[in-house]
Amino acid sequence: MKIVLFGIPGAGKSTQGNLLSRQLHIPYLSTGHIFRKIAQEKTQWGRYIKETMAAGLLIPDKETITIVDEYLSRREYQKGYILDGFPRNLHQAKTFANHIDSVIYLKIPDKESLWRIAGRESEGRDDDTIAAMKKRIEIFHKYTKPVLDYYRRKKLLVEIDGSKSIKHVNKYLLKSLGKSIGKNGLTSWHKRRKVLLAIVGLPGAGKSVAAEYFKKRGFPVIRLGQITDDIIKERKLVNNNANNKIVREELRAKHGMDAYIVRNIPKIRHEFESGPVVVIDGMRSYEEYLSAQKNFRNVFLLAVVADKQVRYSRLKRRKTRSNLSGPDRDLQEVVNLNMGPTIALADSLIINNGTALDFEDKLEDVYRQVYFGLD
C-alpha cells in the first residue's frame, strides 16, 4: 500500500504516519527527515538546504523529485510506504512516477496549527519557528492545495478532520483505508525473516544510544559487555580499562575470540521466539561476527563512528564507566579484539558527530532498512 499524507504544519502527519507505519507494517518517510540529514552536511548544498528550510521555503522541484525517487527505489519501500511532504505542487504530482493507492489530507485550521507549533518543545530544528511555520502555511495554501484538487479528481483523496484526538483521527484514517483495529489488531502482514542487528563501534561512538533507540522501537537488546561487567562485579574489582582487559582476554583465551556471542546464543534464540529482530549492543571481534552468521544467518552490521575527541568528551560525561576511554583502549579494541573488520564490513555506517536529532534521523533509516527491507 502506497499512501501520501498532506496537511499544514502541526496537522499531525508525523504522529499519524508513525502510527500507520506500525499498524500497516510499511515504512514512514518524511521528506523533511531527508532534507534535515542533508542540512547537517558541511557542504555548500547542505548550507543551502539549511538556509532554505530555516526561511520556510521549498527545495527546488528538480532536486526534490530526484531525491524522493532515489529513496523510494530502495528495497525497504517496495512493499509500500507512507510519504509525508511530497508532492508539494502540481509539477511534482504529475512528475511523480510511483503508483499511489491513497492520498490523505489531515485538515486543521491555520490558527490550530500555530497553537500546536507554539506548544511544541524545542527539538533543535531551525525550521520549526513560528515565522517559518507561517511561511510554510502560506506556501501550502498557494501551491499544495491545487495538488489536493488533482488527487480529488483522480478519486484518491480522503479528507480527515485533523483537529480531533489522535485516536479518533487514526481510527477514521484506518477506516478510509479499509482497515480497522480488532481484538487482535491488524494482522495482514508479519515479518518472516529474522535479523540479528549487531551494533559495532569504539567507546563513545554512540552504540548504547543507538541500542536504546531500537529498544524504544520494540526490539529486544542484548548488551555483550554485560558479561564483563558482571564478572568484574562478582570479583569485587574496579571497573576500569585494566580490569576490563584482563576479563575479556581471560574469556577469549578460554572460549575463543567469539566467546561473547557464543555465551549469548541461548539468550538470542529465546528473544527470536517473540520477535523478528534482535539487537546486539557492542559486537567487537570479526570472529564474533562469523559465529553470529553461522548461528543466525541474517546478521546486519551497523557501525557507529565519531571523531576521537567527540568520543572522549562523551565518555567523560558518563555517569558510569566514564574511565573506560583513551588511545590505549581504542588500540586494544581495534587490534587486540580484532574490531577493525567488523567496522570495515558494516552493512551501514553512521557518523555520529552531530546532534541527537541528527543521529536519530540516521538510525530511523537503519530501522526502516532492517525491519521493512530485509524480509
Collapsing DSSP to helix, strand or coil, 202 comes out as coil
182 among annotated binding-site residues: no
- Which range of 134-138, 287-291, 315-319 scores highest in mean pLDDT? It is 287-291
Worst-scoring range by mean pLDDT, 76-90, 314-328, 352-366? 314-328
pLDDT given for residue 324 in this prediction: 62
Q: 66-69 contacts: CB < 8 A, separation 24 or more?
A: 67/31, 67/34, 68/31, 68/34, 68/96, 69/97, 69/98
Report domain 2-176's class: alpha beta
Overall average pLDDT of the 45-66 stretch: 83
Collapsing DSSP to helix, strand or coil, 9 comes out as coil
119 among annotated binding-site residues: no
C-alpha to C-alpha distance for 369 and 375, rounded to whole angstroms: 10
Which residues, other chains included, contact 182 with Cβ-Cβ below 8 Å and sequence gap of 6+?
none
Contact 20, 188 (CB under 8 A): no
- Which range of 1-10, 58-67, 118-127, 179-188 scores highest in mean pLDDT? It is 1-10
31 among annotated binding-site residues: yes
**Cβ neighbours around 253 below 10 Å, total:** 10
Report residue 183's pLDDT band, with 50, 70 and 90 as the boundaries.
low
30 among annotated binding-site residues: no
85 among annotated binding-site residues: yes
193 among annotated binding-site residues: no
166 among annotated binding-site residues: no
**Mean pLDDT score across all residues of the chain:** 86
Q: Radius of gyration over alpha carbons of the chain, in Å?
A: 23
Per-residue pLDDT for 113 more than 60? yes
Per-residue pLDDT for 118 more than 80? no
Which residues, other chains included, contact 157 with Cβ-Cβ below 8 Å and sequence gap of 6+?
103, 104, 105, 148, 151
Q: Nine-digit cell at 63?
A: 532536486
Collapsing DSSP to helix, strand or coil, 277 comes out as strand
Overall average pLDDT of the 143-165 stretch: 89
342 among annotated binding-site residues: no
118 among annotated binding-site residues: no
Cα 28 to the center of its chain, rounded Å: 10
79 among annotated binding-site residues: no
**Residue where the block lists cell 527539538:** 123
227 among annotated binding-site residues: no
Contact 328, 241 (CB under 8 A): yes
12 among annotated binding-site residues: yes
CATH of 195-373, one of 3.30.413.10, 1.25.40.20, 3.40.50.300, 3.30.1330.60: 3.40.50.300
C-alpha to C-alpha distance for 262 and 92, rounded to whole angstroms: 52
C-alpha to C-alpha distance for 171 and 20, rounded to whole angstroms: 10
Per-residue pLDDT for 345 more than 90? yes
Contact 270, 322 (CB under 8 A): no
pLDDT given for residue 190 in this prediction: 55
179 among annotated binding-site residues: no
Helices (H), the chain: 13-24, 31-39, 44-54, 61-72, 90-95, 110-119, 130-139, 145-153, 166-176, 207-216, 226-234, 241-255, 259-262, 265-272, 286-296, 308-316, 327-331, 340-344, 356-368
Worst-scoring range by mean pLDDT, 1-10, 13-22, 175-184? 175-184
59 among annotated binding-site residues: yes
Collapsing DSSP to helix, strand or coil, 368 comes out as helix
- Torsion (CA) 180, 181, 184, 185 in degrees, nearest 10: 100
152 among annotated binding-site residues: no
C-alpha to C-alpha distance for 321 and 311, rounded to whole angstroms: 13
Q: What is the pTM of this model?
A: 0.66
* 98 compared with 211, residue with greater pLDDT: 211
**Cβ neighbours around 41 below 10 Å, total:** 13
C-alpha to C-alpha distance for 181 and 47, rounded to whole angstroms: 44
DSSP codes joined into one string, 116-152:
HHHHSPP-S-TT-SHHHHHHHHHHIIIIIHHHHHHHH
pLDDT given for residue 150 in this prediction: 93
C-alpha to C-alpha distance for 356 and 63, rounded to whole angstroms: 26
165 among annotated binding-site residues: no
pLDDT given for residue 212 in this prediction: 95
Start-to-end Cα distance in the chain: 16
| Residue limits of CATH 3.40.50.300 in the chain | 2-176, 195-373
Per-residue pLDDT for 126 more than 60? no
**Residue where the block lists cell 530555516:** 54
47 among annotated binding-site residues: no
pLDDT per residue over 349-366, tens digit each?
999 998 887 898 889 889
92 among annotated binding-site residues: yes
117 among annotated binding-site residues: no
125 among annotated binding-site residues: yes
